[in-house]
Amino acid sequence: MHLKKFAFLYLFALSAGLLILSFNDILFIYSAESQVAKVTHHVEGKTETFYKLAGSYQEKSLSPAIDYSVNGKVYTHIPKYSCKDGCQSIGSDITIFYKKDKPEEVLVSSFGDIWKYKIYFLIIMGVLLVTTLPYIYYNSSKQPESGSND
Q: Is residue 53 included in any domain, yes or no?
A: yes
Residue 77, C-beta contacts closer than 8 angstroms, at least 6 positions apart: 37, 65, 66, 68, 96, 104, 106, 108
The reply to whether the predicted model has a pTM over 0.95 is no
Q: Is residue 90 included in any domain, yes or no?
A: yes
Domain region containing 67:
2-138
Residues of the chain with pLDDT under 50: none
Instruction: Tally the domains of the chain.
Output: 1
Q: What is the pLDDT of residue 109?
A: 79
